[in-house]
Amino acid sequence: MVFDTISNYYERQVYHQIGAMLGSEFSNDPDFLADVACVTLNSLPPRYIRHHVDMAFYMTSQERGDMEETISRAILDAVDFVQTRKRQGDAALEG
pTM of the complete model: 0.86
d(CA 45, CA 50): 16
The answer, yes or no, to whether residue 2 has pLDDT greater than 90, is no
Radius of gyration for the chain, computed over Cα atoms and rounded to the nearest angstrom: 16
Q: What is the pLDDT of residue 84?
A: 94
Which CA distances in Å does 44 have to 28, 38, 52, 75, 85?
A: 26, 10, 17, 10, 20
Provide the pLDDT for residue 11: 95
Distances from the Cα of 83 to the Cαs of 6, 15, 36, 39, 78, in angstroms?
Answer: 32, 18, 9, 12, 8
Q: Say what the pLDDT of residue 22 is.
A: 93
pLDDT at 95: 61
Q: pLDDT tens-digit profile of 14-69?
A: 999 999 999 888 889 999 999 999 999 999 999 998 887 777 778 899 999 999 99
